[in-house]
Structure 1
Amino acid sequence: MTQFRLGRLSAALAVVALVFAGCAQQGTAGPTTGPSEAGATPLPGTGKTVNIAINPWVGYEANAAVVAYILEEKLGYTVVKKNLAEQVSWEGFPTGEVDVILENWGHDDLKAKYIDTDKTAQSAGELGVTGIIGWYVPAWMKEEYPDIDDWQNLNKYADLFKTSESGDKGQLLDGDPSYVTNDVALVKNLELNFEVVVGGSEAALITSFQQATTQKTPLLAYFYDPQWAWAQPPLVDEPLVRIKLPEYTAGCDADPEAVACDYPPYILDKIVSTTFATEGGAAYELIKNFKWTNLDQSTVSELIANQGMTAEDAGKKWVDEHEAIWQAWMP
């Protein structure tokens, strides 16, 4: 009985040995279906960080949502977003605190300093988005006062726009104090009986126009495109009316204190630190290639501002639905 058990055990061990030998031989032949997980090529961004400035408007946040998602999920980078005003963002280039500004509105003075003189920054190409800035009134005001959209007639309507903050003058409402604006100089140089009042944020500006439209209250304010609110009620049904300021001509805004003309159309571009341009690798290539439309941006902006999505979820949704577009940006 004992001998039989030992014999059966010996036979079993022999079979196991043959199986292991076969596995070992198979292993020496190399994998047949591709590299093992341990030997997989790491993503280009593994262990690397990209510092992106986030300026205070939702369209900018939309740019960053999409770029950050691709950098992290497709290229393996760690992205650090830094909430900064526009000028402060530029100041981060020489210190290394900022690698990228994804949406730059003009700023010829900052370009002269950081790109031309200090050479700590450079353009990474156009964003593909055209920026428009102007003064607007609700549609109902144009219907009731047909000539109100001409700047030369604003003074006769100034009383309509008086508020507790503007005193005995009409109010011209501006947005975030860090935004690109010539409004104080324009009011002075066009001799308008108005006071520029800062609303404090993009959200406050949008709410003011929505309420002025639905409640039929007078409002003259700074506004811009791209902007998700244009495509949503009530503004989609009753579009704001732009005030005709003196026509923009090249150089008419060269002296900020002497500006007496309309805003130009802004061909928005991306700015990166010189260090990032030379050492940023795949991340720099992606950002240089990143180019989309006003509609693309407004689509993501609306998800964040109006549908309550996080920037991360909005970025993922757009990327999932537009692979043909973003694949063209990949390094």
Structure 2
Amino acid sequence: MTHKFRLAVSAMAIVAGAAAGGAAAQESSDPIKLTLHDWTGQLITTQIMGSVLQKAGYAVEYVQADYLAQFAGLETGDLHLAMEMWETTGRDAMDVATATGKVVNLGPTGLKAKEEWWYPAYMVEQCPGLPDWKALMEPACAEAFATAETAPKGRYLGGPVTWGGFDEERIEALDLPFEVIHAGTDAALFAELESAIQRKAPVLLWIYAPHWAPAKYEGDWVAFPEYTPECYSDPAWGINPDMAYDCGKPFGEIWKVAWAGMAEKWPGAEKAAKAFTIDNTEMGAMITEVDLNGQTVDAVVADWMTKNEARWSGWIN
């Protein structure tokens, strides 16, 4: 869910828009504040949107924000637009925020989200019941994923704690002999994956798509009991009658959300944000350019803007 440190612009810097024209000339000249998080795809999505808004004549400010805690700022209008709220991990927080009437869902980005526990294919030899989650309950399987830090429990490398995801709750509800160790950053998460695969070392970790990793490496996601909303909200649902989260993570859309006041203050910008769409193939290719091929987010976004001018022009006209 990175290369925020590669951003050529300061996350808090106001970026001047292009010469004001069209709808933007009649709207507020205050900067539209877009939130930045800590994974490459979100930085790309956000900078594309910011670049499009600049072309329409708006001033844009990029603000580093916590993925879930950002809703407090969106509710007050201190933040204005968040380009990636994942159905897989952020739906609950999004629903709470939109229920206040102060935050609005601007619709899907076009990206389809999957986030789940993932293992490289060579680990099936040591845990032959995979991808069935019940295989993880076997002591020999847990030991295969164990480290000196977690033994005799297996080690699950989760994403940064700000991503949410209920992994600790899932382990407890399903009585899995595993311990969650959180990666500090997105970059650290995937650096450990690459290191483990080069050594064919045991690794079980949070992988998400769209991303280059599940395309580059042979492996699979653990098949947990299928998610339903009741799994998260009703402890009586599912395998464990006393605890929620006894299932896998939801799959689905990646949403755009905004401060409700954006429609009145910058109606043209809100219209453009609603029109924004991109797909997993495009995003996967851009993430690969940044994470694997050493390009900056700025360069990748600039290239996309050049190649897709006819497309994004339609969002602002």
Question: Given the two structures, how large is their TM-score scaled by the length of structure 1?
Answer: 0.80
1:120 and 1:273 in contact (8 A); partners too: yes
SS at match of 1:295: helix
The amino acid across from 1:124 in the alignment is L
Structure 1 residue aligned with 2:51:
69
Q: State the percentage of identical aligned residues.
A: 26
**Residue 54 in structure 1 maps to residue 27 in structure 2:** no
Aligned pairs for 1:258-277 (under 5 A) are 258-277=244-263
Cα deviation, residue 43, structure 1: 5.1
**Residue 103 in structure 1 maps to residue 84 in structure 2:** yes
Cα deviation, residue 44, structure 1: 4.1
- Alpha-carbon separation, structure 2, partners of 1:259 and 1:270: 25
Structure 1 segments unaligned to the other structure (5+ residues) = 1-39
Cα deviation, residue 145, structure 1: 3.9
Structure 2 residue aligned with 1:85:
66
- Alpha-carbon separation, structure 1, partners of 2:20 and 2:165: 48
Q: CA 1:283/1:152 → structure 2, altered by over 3 Å: closer, same or farther?
A: same
The amino acid across from 1:82 in the alignment is V
**Residue 294 in structure 1 maps to residue 280 in structure 2:** yes
- Alpha-carbon separation, structure 1, partners of 2:131 and 2:124: 7
Structure 2 residue aligned with 1:127:
109
Task: Give RMSD over aligned pairs.
Answer: 2.1
- Alpha-carbon separation, structure 2, partners of 1:113 and 1:192: 30
- Alpha-carbon separation, structure 1, partners of 2:132 and 2:205: 14
Cα deviation, residue 167, structure 1: 4.0
Which residue, out of 262, 266, 277, partners 1:280?
A: 266
2:143 and 2:154 in contact (8 A); partners too: yes
1:138 and 1:212 in contact (8 A); partners too: no
Which residue, out of 304, 310, 331, partners 2:296?
A: 310
Cα deviation, residue 75, structure 1: 1.0
Cα deviation, residue 147, structure 1: 1.8
Cα displacement string for residues 85-129 of structure 1 (whole angstroms, at most 9, x for unaligned residues): 11221111233221001011233433343221x211111111111
- Alpha-carbon separation, structure 1, partners of 2:68 and 2:227: 24
Which residue, out of 163, 167, 181, partners 1:179?
A: 163
Cα deviation, residue 69, structure 1: 1.5
- Alpha-carbon separation, structure 2, partners of 1:226 and 1:239: 16
Aligned pairs for 1:4-23 (under 5 A) are none
Which residue, out of 174, 186, 190, partners 1:202?
A: 186
Structure 2 residue aligned with 1:191:
175
Q: What count of residue pairs does the alignment treat as equivalent?
A: 285
The amino acid across from 2:232 in the alignment is D
The amino acid across from 1:248 in the alignment is Y
Structure 2 residue aligned with 1:222:
206
Decide which structure has the larger Cα Rg and report it.
1
1:45 and 1:78 in contact (8 A); partners too: no
**Residue 246 in structure 1 maps to residue 225 in structure 2:** yes
- Alpha-carbon separation, structure 1, partners of 2:150 and 2:20: 63
Q: CA 1:245/1:94 → structure 2, altered by over 3 Å: closer, same or farther?
A: closer
1:115 and 1:122 in contact (8 A); partners too: yes
1:137 and 1:240 in contact (8 A); partners too: yes
SS at match of 2:62: strand
SS at match of 1:124: strand
1:61 and 1:301 in contact (8 A); partners too: no
**Residue 168 in structure 1 maps to residue 152 in structure 2:** yes
SS at match of 1:166: coil
Cα deviation, residue 265, structure 1: 0.9
Q: CA 1:55/1:279 → structure 2, altered by over 3 Å: closer, same or farther?
A: same
1:171 and 1:196 in contact (8 A); partners too: yes
Q: CA 1:41/1:148 → structure 2, altered by over 3 Å: closer, same or farther?
A: closer
1:126 and 1:269 in contact (8 A); partners too: yes
**Residue 149 in structure 1 maps to residue 135 in structure 2:** no
2:126 and 2:144 in contact (8 A); partners too: no
The amino acid across from 2:202 in the alignment is P
Question: Given the two structures, how large is their TM-score scaled by the length of structure 2?
Answer: 0.83
